[in-house]
Amino acid sequence: MEQNKATATKEVWISHLCDAPREVVFKAWTNPEQLKQWYAPDGCTIDILHMDVRPGGTFQTCIHNPVYGDCWCKGEYLEVAEPEKLMFSIYITDPKGNRLEDSGKDEKWPGTIITTVTFKAIGNQCSFTLHQTVAEELARQTGAYQSWLQMFGNLDKIIA
């Protein structure tokens, strides 16, 4: 029984290997012009209203989904260690940046998620691992997990 409980609460961990140096991959996560080219699931686009990549800096984005509508998000960079690590919080807002407690997501979806991305150089390639403080099972049910995989494929295309 304990094993099932542990499995049910396992958080999101995704590793990805990019055919580009670590500095290039890190920049694709921290440069707004590059980020908007890949940081949305297939069929969607993203607007980056502001993005201040430094500890304590904030960002606000809107992913435009032709099926489900707009998803406004805001967050804060908690740690920026170029080119090794990014850690940021993210939560759903209205278009004015006000936090939404009822965002239409699954009721088990956390109000705030912490995302940590660690980058490792492997020769001229970069391996990164993304960790999010949301249950993997829930992320898979809502499509968030699959969206990350799509976005990483988009990232590969812009850094090639």
- The pLDDT tens digits of the residues spanning 22-34 come to 999 999 999 999 9
Is 146 inside any structural domain?
yes
Q: Give the count of domains, the chain.
A: 1
Is 2 inside any structural domain?
no
Is 6 inside any structural domain?
no
Going by the DSSP 8-state scheme, the letter that residue 10 receives in this structure is: P
Is 1 inside any structural domain?
no
The tokens for 111 are 């109000």
Domain interval for residue 31: 11-159
pLDDT band at 9 (very low <50, low <70, confident <90, very high): low
Is 123 inside any structural domain?
yes
Closest CA to 110 of 85, 80, 142, 86: 142
As a whole number of angstroms, the distance between CA 11 and CA 32 comes to 27
Strand 85-93 versus strand 69-81 pairing type: antiparallel
pLDDT band at 8 (very low <50, low <70, confident <90, very high): very low
Neighbours of 60 (CB within 10 A): 17
pLDDT band at 103 (very low <50, low <70, confident <90, very high): low
Average per-residue pLDDT in the chain?
92
pLDDT band at 152 (very low <50, low <70, confident <90, very high): very high
pLDDT tens string 74-95: 999 999 999 999 999 999 999 9
As a whole number of angstroms, the distance between CA 118 and CA 81 comes to 9
Tell me how far apart the 2 most distant CA atoms of the chain are, in Å: 48
Is 34 inside any structural domain?
yes
Helix, strand, or coil here: 156? Answer: helix
Is 3 inside any structural domain?
no
- What is the torsion angle, in degrees rounded to the nearest 10, for the CA atoms of residue 77, residue 82, residue 83 and residue 89? -10
Closest CA to 116 of 146, 85, 75: 85
User: In the prediction, which pLDDT does 160 show?
Assistant: 86
Is 84 inside any structural domain?
yes
- CATH code (residue 153): 3.30.530.20
The tokens for 38 are 């890949």
User: In the prediction, which pLDDT does 88 show?
Assistant: 99
